[in-house]
Structure 1
Amino acid sequence: MKMRFKSAFAAIALSIISLNTTTQAETAAPQAVDRVDIQKYAGKWYEIAHLPMYFQRKCIANITAQYSVNADQTIRVLNSCRIANGEIISSEGVAYSQNQGNSKLKVSFLPKGLRWIPFTKGHYWLLRVDPEYKVALVGGPSNKYLWILSREPQLDEATYQSYIDTAKDYGYDVTKLIKLPH
């Protein structure tokens, strides 16, 4: 009896290992692109879609992000959106490059005097940017946050689907993406 239990347990363990190996082979951990030209990336971006997140819970339309390079090479971030009463709300932050290629950033939306506090900056990795800097896929080392951004308020379906496919390849649950109107 003990031998059958051990054999059954071993078979189950091998099956689980096999399933985990298959799942890991199908998706890769998110990877930032090698290099981003921050000057080209700067400017206004329209959010096409995002994974649900607490900070965007009130947004119902017109989500945008405006990036500009500061004198110290940090990046000013101004996010805005329209909420249910028609008001436009915004949040200003700063992004700090975490690698030589400027493709891995940490962003803080805390007031200036509190940005030194550890663990208060979020990951902002550029996972894919088209060569003309017109469309971008942004996430981080986990699959918790994801944004598809465009220089135009609308994105054609083929391009959108291509960026969705990249997100899927990185293991993001794209079935949860939220698309809001512009």
Structure 2
Amino acid sequence: MRPLPLVLLLAAVAATSACRSNTVKPSITTAAPVDVDRFMGGWYVIAHIPSFPERDAYAAVESYAKLPDGRIQTTFRYRKGALDGPEKTMHPVGTVEPDTGGAVWGMQFVWPIQAEYVIAYVDADYQQTIVGRSKRDYVWLMARTPRIPEADYQARIRQIEAMGYDVSKIRRVPH
């Protein structure tokens, strides 16, 4: 059974990364308070510094739904390699961290590890958001529509840069 050792290896790498993320750089300023109920629903990934599974993602959409226990069921769907590529799906579960104004979540892909998920920006109409991590290794610019005006895109990229990210690593996600 080869899959189990791979899962354990990935979990160990993620745990090491998660532990280091708290000490590498200062925390990201959050968008708190975040109305978690308004944040629910679908968000198109407009651009990102991708995690390993997302490196070749097309038509990426992240959807959130509140569970009865308050956790957030997340569904991340994307096409691998092309707009007509095979659809891939992940189902992490988010937990809103207490005393963060709804802006910091732990996102669990593999038990027991929770990755940091910081809502650093959300506009007043809950149409555009930036989600990042203190380590500045991954970032997601998302919107309720598959495209945003170029002026908005450039403004969000400047925000991401001001947060301490290397914006040369950002990839626009084709939709």
Is 1:66 paired with 2:59? Answer: no
CA distance in 2, matches of 1:92, 1:54: 16
Task: Please tell me whether the aligned partners of residues 29 and 171 of structure 1 are also in contact (alpha carbons under 8 angstroms).
Answer: no
Unaligned runs of at least 5 residues, structure 2 = 1-25
Is 1:172 paired with 2:165? Answer: yes
TM-score by length of 1: 0.77
Is 1:128 paired with 2:121? Answer: yes
**Amino acid paired to 1:173:** D
CA distance in 1, matches of 2:166, 2:43: 23
Task: Please tell me whether the aligned partners of residues 48 and 150 of structure 1 are also in contact (alpha carbons under 8 angstroms).
Answer: yes
Moved over 2 A (4+): none
1:44 positional shift: 0.4
Task: Please tell me whether the aligned partners of residues 93 and 108 of structure 1 are also in contact (alpha carbons under 8 angstroms).
Answer: yes
Is 1:105 paired with 2:105? Answer: yes
Show CA shifts across 1:89-125 (max 9, x none): 1000100111331100010112xxxx2x2xx211110
CA distance in 2, matches of 1:58, 1:170: 25
**Amino acid paired to 2:89:** S
Name 2:38's counterpart in structure 1. Answer: 40
Show CA shifts across 1:128-176 (max 9, x none): 0001000000001121110000000001111111111111111101111
Q: Percent identity?
A: 27
Show CA shifts across 1:45-78 (max 9, x none): 000001032121342x100001000101110110
Task: Please tell me whether the aligned partners of residues 81 and 89 of structure 1 are also in contact (alpha carbons under 8 angstroms).
Answer: yes
Normalized per residue, which structure has more strand? 2
Aligned mate of 2:74, from 74, 77, 80: 77
**Amino acid paired to 1:152:** T
CA distance in 1, matches of 2:138, 2:55: 13
**Amino acid paired to 1:102:** G
Name 1:11's counterpart in structure 2. Answer: none
Name the count of aligned residue pairs: 147
Unaligned runs of at least 5 residues, structure 1 = 1-27
TM-score by length of 2: 0.80
**Amino acid paired to 2:32:** D
Name 1:145's counterpart in structure 2. Answer: 138
1:121 aligns to what SS in structure 2? strand
Structure with bigger gyration radius = 1
Superposed CA RMSD in Å reads: 1.4
Task: Please tell me whether the aligned partners of residues 29 and 170 of structure 1 are also in contact (alpha carbons under 8 angstroms).
Answer: no
